[in-house]
Amino acid sequence: MTLGPILGVLFDGFAYGMLLFLLSVGLSVTLGMMNFVNLAHCAFAMLGGYVTVTLTRTFGWPFLATLPLAFLAAAVASVAFERTLYRRLYRAAELDQVLLTIGLTFMSVAAAAYFFGTVVQPVETPSYLRGSIDIMGMTVGRYRLFLVVTGLLVALLLLLTLDSTRFGATVRAAVDNQRMARGLGINVESWFAVTFALGSGLAGLGGALAIEIVGLDPHFAFTYLVYVLIVVSVGGLGSISGSFAAAVVIGISDMIGKYYFPALGSFLIYLVMVAVLMWRPTGLFGRR
Amino acid sequence: MTASAGATLEPNSHLKARAQWHPLEIAFWLSTLLPFVLFPHHLVLASQIAITALFALSLDLILGYAGIVSLGHAAFFGLGAYTAGIVSKYGWTEPLLGLLIAPAVAGLAGYASSFIIARFSHLTLIMITLGLGVLLHEAANRAEWLTGGSDGLQGVRIGPLLGTFRFDLYGYTAYAYSLTVLFLVFLLMRRLINSPFGLALRGIRENRTRMPAIGAPSHAHIRKIYTIAAMIAGIAGAVLAHTTSTVSLGVLDFQRSAEVLIILVLGGAGRIYGGLVGAIIFMVARDQFSGIAPQYWYFWIGALLVTVVMLLPNGILGGAAALTRRWRGLTP
Amino acid sequence: MHRRLMLQAAAALALLTAPAASWAQGTVKIGVILPLSGQFADLATQMDNGIKLYMKQKGDTVAGKKIEIIRKDSGGVAPDVATRLAQELITRDNVDILAGLLLSPNAIAVSKVSAEGKKFTVIMNAATTVIITMSPYSVRTSMTLPSVASTAGAWAYKSGIRKAYTMVSDFAPGKDAEAAFQEAFKAAGGEIIGSVRMPVANPDFSAFVQRAKDLNPESIFIFVPGGAQPAALGKAFAERGVDPAKIKIIGTGEVVDESSVKNMGDAAVGIMSVWHYDYNDASAMNKEFVAAYNAEFKRNPDFGSVGGYDGMHVIYEALKKAGGKTDGDSLIAAAKGVSFESPRGPLQIDAETRDIVQNLYVRQVRKVGDGLRNVVVDTVEKVKDPGSAGKK
């Protein structure tokens, strides 16, 4: 039995995991840091996606150039919402936060349908990102390769920031023990705003990158919320490496399951999640 | 409630005070009879509101009173609906029979899963309930021989209620049936909540680990209330199957679980009328918005939720309670 | 004196003709139930556009009566909501006809209401065989999935393919398509070398495509729900190196609808499909239809649009034949056997089964001019649903 096909599938699973990582890491950190349940997270991802679609189609921008803008648009939008609405609910009950953010998600879905229609949006990827290339005997999709490289870069950047910068140290402190951090004079709210913007920006980037793989329509904000929540809970709140590990585990196990046991189909992701959570309730790398 | 400090030290009289019927409550239940007279063409909608209210009430038992956030509660609703449908398919067409068997099946599933549920909390619990709910949905999709798969259960034959009252197009029987079931279950749950068991549940919600220290077995209580909540959700599902003569995978899906959670939080969890108020407001709003702007009603519903949260913390009833307190001049 | 007499005579005449006048001003109300919000909103909009275009072109008066459309949103797959909407349309809005019905579970539920309320019902998209049997007052103007899939199976063998692999989504329509294709293909003499059922909510097809590729099949039959999945599947084929030129990929029309083909790009070239309508179909009537549709809605029509358009035609014809009577029995009697030319070709409502009989086209995605189009390579005429052909 040749290894080529299986490795190809594994690689695809890893790439899918990178996509999930980009979509989820922001939510994991913000949930871990402030316990703020932002279920509108995927709405920011969707915004990033629509920004890319508009820029490539209406304004003819090249795909790669739109990615930083997708990031920025989502980050800026999140700052706007944070200033006006989210800030008032930091001390509120979790369920109230759920209601607010779900309400915002509903509104975003309707707005997307209004401005862009309900049709699935195509995206013009440059020709060097289409098709596949042969690496070490396995056929690898170029776009998937691009996803893997981007995901690894982002993960590396985030981990470096977390470990080696003051900002990172503050974030880690706030996630580990919010009360102590406040006691040390850290203004958790303003640091949270920055982290939130960063996390939402990454979601926007993830949304833009997702179009080529999974397509973009107004329901994106809801469809991917479940997968993001799975990654966040399996990885552990507030942990970047947790999100990474969880996303990879889920992406790969999903692929392996479908390749070897197609009858299991979509069962596998949920079984994996329930199993991991029952074994380690705080997630793979969670603290609390 | 405005009981004096001395009375609240006596648990029995405290419970008795809470169990008194407030005139607003009586007004509420009387007004549920109005649709028969004022909105005779909307009885089908009214019956679906009653069913949703019952479903939300069952979620309130675990969320509002025991602090268990579940994103998979539709599992029990769906089990009840499918049981009622399948029972009717094989010849037992009397709805009341389904109404007895459905909660038994749902309750059994609730009891079995309560062993898992009781051990977890917070996000873990939410995701486990979500996962279990999705797994059940997928299993129902696969078991086409039993459930009819995505086309829905075929051959559902609901007979006339008590052998005489047909479920007709106009919805009189449907609304009378669902309203009666809602009211009876509500009476039972009101008793339960205003009992020592209900108090213990509220204690568990506030601080699960401390409760056993005062002699309240947390896990056992949680299992009990979870089973009861499952049974009531099953009853709601059965009534839906009876009044619409259809059962499809939608009774089990994640959207239904998420929607009932939203409805409960909208109305105010932990206040026994929260689910009822939330159901009425949400479903009437959706029906109206949907009629005005079919493609964009999502927007207005979202706006409603955002407005309620920003203006009325703790849901509509919570906000109403806060307003009443302020109006009464801050008397404790 | 004369004037008063004239006035009285005029008044008497007016009174005599008044009932006729109010009969002429009578309205026929049509309740259209569509999933206007939710994931099927796009197809629902196309169908609604088809209805609007027909009424714009042919006017809103038939047999002396005015047509009024009342639209209701089912929100997606929600048989309980669809049931309630149908009941309300009948009891609250007093509709005479029910129409729309894009999704099979909703159509099944509404059929029960149609039977009880004795209302003429036009199913404009739902594709499951059994629906048509559930109400004696319903007709269908879309297509049935088994008829498409079994035509695909028979045609595949005819075109020289001997071995096939099937990939379908794991839900009722997918399983129906799989069964119909396999049965027709095997009956013709072909061999099914393997099959896989994929989860309904499936963002990533890579593993399934690789499984198929491992068996090196001669052809692959695919069925996935419309929306984002067809494009994802097409791209997965390209990525895993499944070349439509070497391995014949055959699907239903939803796989190669306009937006999916655009999304797939060059990966779509060579994919074959069996379907009843494409906006590229070359008939004169279709060219007019597409032009009018574009002028009105700024986009191309699809099978949803034509289902709505032809559905309205059936309603208008039935009303004319029944002389304006709107009760279920008259309309269904008038609708049975109706046959006409539609943008998709000749159509007929079977007099016995009340189901649709139409031509199905085998097409291939090819580069035409500046873009990719479904080009018709073969036509199968007067196709009936295999299920209803067997039973009644």
Domains, chain A, with CATH or none: 3-279 (1.10.3470)
Task: Please report the pLDDT score of residue C21 as a whole number.
Answer: 38
Pick the CATH number of C146-275+360-390 from 3.40.50.300, 3.30.70.100, 1.10.3720.10, 3.40.50.2300: 3.40.50.2300
What is the per-residue pLDDT across C147-159, written as a single tens digit (0 to 9) for each? 999 999 999 999 9
B251: chain C residues, CB-CB within 8 Å: 80
- pLDDT exceeds cutoff 70 at C44: yes
Type and span of the H or E element at C138: strand C138-140
What is the per-residue pLDDT across B231-259, written as a single tens digit (0 to 9) for each? 999 999 999 999 999 999 989 988 899 99
- pLDDT exceeds cutoff 70 at B1: no
Q: DSSP class of residue C359?
A: E
Q: How far apart are CA B1 and CA B332, in angstroms?
A: 8
The ipTM (two decimal places) reads 0.87
Contact of C165 with C195, CB cutoff 8 Å: yes
Chain B nearest-CA distance from C86, in A, is 9
What is the per-residue pLDDT across A59-96, written as a single tens digit (0 to 9) for each? 888 889 999 999 999 999 999 999 899 888 887 888 88
- The C-alpha angle A30, A35, A39, rounded to 5 degrees, equals 65
Q: How far apart are CA B141 and CA B246, in angstroms?
A: 16
Task: Please report the pLDDT score of residue A107 as a whole number.
Answer: 93
C238: chain A residues, CB-CB within 8 Å: 130-132
C170: chain A residues, CB-CB within 8 Å: 265
* Mean pLDDT rounded to a whole number for chain C: 87
C387 — phi, psi (to 5°)? -65, -50
What is the per-residue pLDDT across B175-216, written as a single tens digit (0 to 9) for each? 999 999 999 999 999 988 888 888 888 888 887 777 777 777
Contact of A266 with C199, CB cutoff 8 Å: yes
- pLDDT exceeds cutoff 50 at C19: no
pLDDT band at C391 (very low <50, low <70, confident <90, very high): very low
Task: Please report the pLDDT score of residue C25 as a whole number.
Answer: 55
Residue A239, amino acid: S
Nearest residue to C145 via CA among C136, C132, C158, C135: C132
What is the per-residue pLDDT across B26-48, written as a single tens digit (0 to 9) for each? 999 999 999 998 888 899 999 99
B223 — phi, psi (to 5°)? -65, -40
Q: What parts of chain A have a pLDDT lower than 50?
A: 1
- pLDDT exceeds cutoff 90 at B319: no
Output helix, strand, coil percentages for chain C, rounded to the nearest 5.
Answer: 45, 25, 30
Q: Which residue has the higher pLDDT, C309 or A222?
A: C309
Contacting residues for A20 by C-beta, under 8 A, at least 6 apart: A227, A228, A231, A247, A250, A251
Residue A219 contacts C, CB cutoff 8 Å: yes
Q: How far apart are CA B83 and CA B103, in angstroms?
A: 9
- pLDDT exceeds cutoff 90 at B295: no
pTM of the model: 0.88
What is the per-residue pLDDT across C81-95, written as a single tens digit (0 to 9) for each? 999 999 999 998 999
Is C181 strand, coil or helix?
A: helix
Task: Please report the pLDDT score of residue C390 as a whole number.
Answer: 36
Contact of C323 with C255, CB cutoff 8 Å: no
What is the per-residue pLDDT across A144-159, written as a single tens digit (0 to 9) for each? 899 999 999 999 998 8
Q: How far apart are CA B189 and CA B191, in angstroms?
A: 5
Look at the block and give the residue holding tokens 């797994």.
Answer: B135
Q: Say what percent of chain C tops pLDDT 70.
A: 92
Task: Please report the pLDDT score of residue A288 as a whole number.
Answer: 52
Q: How far apart are CA C205 and CA A258, in angstroms?
A: 9
Q: Which residue has the higher pLDDT, C8 or C139?
A: C139
Q: Give the chains touching B; criterion: ≥3 Cβ pairs < 8 Å.
A: A, C
- pLDDT exceeds cutoff 70 at B8: no
CB contact (8 A) between residue C39 and residue A265: no
Task: Please report the pLDDT score of residue B332 as a whole number.
Answer: 53
Return the sign of the alpha-carbon dihedral for residues C264, C269, C273, C279.
positive
Task: Please report the pLDDT score of residue B330 as a whole number.
Answer: 61
**Which among B169, B246, B298 has CB closest to C79?**
B246
Domain ranges in chain C with CATH number 3.40.50.2300: 23-143+282-354, 146-275+360-390
CB contact (8 A) between residue B135 and residue A106: no
- The whole-number average pLDDT for the span C195-216 is 88
CB contact (8 A) between residue B151 and residue C172: yes
Question: What is the third-level CATH fold of C23-143+282-354?
Answer: Rossmann fold (3.40.50)
